[in-house]
Amino acid sequence: QVQLVESGGGLVQPGGSLRLSCTVSGTIFGIYMAWYRQAPGKQRELVARITTGSTTIYLDSVKGRFTISRDNVKGAVYLQMDSLKPEDTAVYYCNEYPSTSWGQGTQVTVSS
């Protein structure tokens, strides 16, 4: 299994921005990567996915606000989050796509 460590979460005001980082042990060459999130009382959902060719898809509610990117050489995946809303509050997880074992995630809280 690939080992994933998420970072960059925190408390931010509505309208603010955060950049989440995912450091990956092992290669991510040839592997689709994704960001997921899970809000309290809700199921985990796919937020964004990026293919090996950098094709991206997004959850409709974050489209235009979030941007996923990857650096295969560095072994990292990023999620730039702009215009954050309270409903974006969740624990965010990085993973392969399809998902494998889950890490601890990073907490994102959007509140004034």
- What does the alpha-carbon distance between residue 16 and residue 95 come to, in Å, rounded to a whole number? 25
| pLDDT means over runs of 10, the chain (112 residues) | 89 98 88 96 97 94 98 94 98 93 95 96
- What does the alpha-carbon distance between residue 79 and residue 64 come to, in Å, rounded to a whole number? 12
Instruction: Give me the pLDDT at residue 100, please.
Output: 85
Instruction: Give me the pLDDT at residue 54, please.
Output: 86
Instruction: Give me the pLDDT at residue 30, please.
Output: 87
Three-state DSSP state, 34: strand
Of the chain, the end-to-end C-alpha distance in Å amounts to: 39
